[in-house]
Amino acid sequence: MAREPKSFDHLLGGKAKGLSDAQLQAHFTLYKGYVTKLNEITTKLAAADRSTPNYSFNEYSELRRREPVAFNGTVLHEMYFDGLGDGSTQPSAGTREFIANGFGSFDAWVADTKACLMSGHGWTLLCYDYDSKKLINNLVQGEHHIGLFANVHVMAAFDAWEHAYFFDYQTGKAKYVESILSGLNWDVLAARFKQVGAAV
Ligand SMILES: [Fe+2]
């Protein structure tokens, strides 16, 4: 069954802090492209010949190799848009404590997330590490089908690809980062923290 792109139109009209409708609409279009390709890959995989898989080239093999690009491109964008807000929500005391347990303090998490986003040109993921039972940051330096940490649960995704901010900020990436981090939807993030048992 084809996966339908989710609507994030509720973010339009200033509901995503610091992001114009034109910037968001362009990003929505890009996101929908990932969903379209994910559906195309899924459909082709269902019918693909599995009898001659090959490392160099084979249709089935290549579909499997590119599937994570479309899958993660879809899911990470949904998490990113889900987490955006207008600054009207605040992290609860429990949320601040959960974050501080991983980073030393809430402000240290903000500082490290800014530093991660300014260090790369793609995704930074806030993850729950099942081994340490703490939150950690995963800077995904390259394409989003490689470089993701193992045995973690992605809690939040932050997009620092140029397409996420260039319309509104051009080269002012730091201002974009500052804006989205100060406008996060803490109700959404708290719900995800609860998935790993955090008392937030
Ligand atoms: Fe993006």
User: H/E/C letters for each residue in 50-72?
Assistant: CCCCCCCCCHHHHHHHHHHHHHH
Q: Which CATH superfamily is domain 93-195 in?
A: Iron/manganese superoxide dismutase, C-terminal domain (3.55.40.20)
The tens place of each residue's pLDDT in the chain, 200 residues long, gives 799 999 999 999 999 999 999 999 999 999 999 999 999 999 999 999 999 999 999 999 999 999 999 999 999 999 999 999 999 999 999 999 999 999 999 999 999 999 999 999 899 999 999 999 999 999 998 888 888 999 999 999 999 999 999 999 999 999 999 999 999 999 999 999 999 999 99
For residues 28 and 134, give the distance between their C-alpha atoms in angstroms, rounded to a whole number: 32
Could you report the per-residue pLDDT of 120-158, keeping only the tens digit for each?
Answer: 989 999 999 999 999 999 999 888 888 899 999 999 999
Domain locations in the chain as residue ranges:
20-83, 93-195
- Cα of 158 vs centre of ligand 1, distance in Å, is 9
- Cα of 33 vs centre of ligand 1, distance in Å, is 11
Half-sphere exposure of 45 (CA within 13 A, CB side): 16
- Cα of 93 vs centre of ligand 1, distance in Å, is 30
Calculate the CA 94 to chain-centre distance.
23
Max Cα–Cα distance, the chain, nearest Å: 56
